[in-house]
C-alpha cells in the first residue's frame, strides 16, 4: 500500500515553499528524480511522489538529484541528464512533445537542456524525437501490415498527408514504396 503524503508536505511541494527545504525531500518515480520542496519544476502527480527525510535516503533508493534545484548541492553530471532526457523522449515520442515539456519533466530550463543535450549527444532533442519517429515508422513498415495511417499516429504524426510527405523527404520513398521495396529485397535474398 502506498504511504500517504502528509497534507502539509504536499502543500509545501505545490507552493515551492523554501521553508521546508532540508526538512524533507520528495522523489518522483516516473522521472527517477528527487527535489527540494522549493523546486520550481512542474508539480508532480501525487500518486508518483515519495517523501524522504534526507537526500541520502533518496539517493539510496535509486533517485537522482534534480538539475534545477540541486538537492545535494551538486549538479547531476551532464551525461546522466542527457540519458534521462533520452529515456523521457523514448517513452513519449508518440505524443506531441515540446522542449518546454521535456524541461519541465527533466527539471531544467529549456535553453540549458537544449544546449547540454546537443553538446553531450551531438543532436538536439527535436532531432532525436525526429530520429525516433522515423526509425519506429520504418521498423513498423518492415515488420507489419499495419495501415500506414495507423503507423503515422503511433509515431506521433496523426496528420497522414504530412506523415507521407515527411517520410518521403527523409527516406526518398513514400511509406508504401518503402514497405514494398523492403519486401522485394527480402524476397530476392530468400
Catalytic residue IDs: 35
How many whole angstroms from its chain centre is CA 152? 20
Four-point Cα dihedral 80, 34, 100, 116, nearest 10: -20
Strands 33-35 and 25-28: antiparallel
Q: Measuring CA to CA, which residue among 119, 91, 121 is closest to residue 106?
A: 91
Rg (CA), the chain: 21
Strands 64-65 and 49-52: unpaired
Structural contact between residues 32 and 64, judged by C-beta atoms closer than 8 angstroms: yes
Packing angle between helix 99-106 and helix 78-92, nearest 10 degrees? Answer: 120
Amino acid at each position: 500500500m502506498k504511504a500517504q503524503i502528509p497534507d502539509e508536505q504536499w502543500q509545501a511541494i505545490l507552493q515551492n515553499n523554501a521553508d521546508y527545504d532540508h526538512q524533507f525531500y520528495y522523489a518522483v518515480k516516473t522521472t527517477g528524480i528527487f527535489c527540494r520542496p522549493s523546486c520550481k519544476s512542474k508539480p508532480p502527480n501525487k500518486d508518483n511522489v515519495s517523501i524522504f527525510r534526507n537526500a541520502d535516503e533518496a539517493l539510496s533508493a535509486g533517485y537522482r538529484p534534480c538539475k534545477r534545484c540541486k538537492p545535494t548541492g551538486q549538479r547531476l553530471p551532464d551525461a546522466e541528464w542527457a540519458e534521462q532526457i533520452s529515456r523521457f523522449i523514448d517513452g513519449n515520442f508518440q505524443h506531441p512533445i515540446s522542449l518546454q515539456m521535456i524541461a519541465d519533466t527533466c527539471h531544467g530550463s529549456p535553453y540549458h537542456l537544449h544546449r547540454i543535450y546537443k553538446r553531450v549527444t551531438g543532436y538536439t532533442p527535436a532531432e532525436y524525437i525526429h530520429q525516433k519517429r522515423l526509425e519506429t515508422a520504418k521498423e513498423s513498415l518492415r515488420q507489419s501490415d499495419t495501415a500506414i495511417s495507423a503507423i503515422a499516429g503511433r509515431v506521433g504524426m496523426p496528420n497522414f498527408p504530412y506523415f507521407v510527405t515527411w517520410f518521403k523527404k527523409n527516406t526518398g520513398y513514400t511509406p508504401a514504396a518503402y514497405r514494398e521495396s523492403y519486401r522485394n529485397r527480402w524476397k530476392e535474398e530468400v
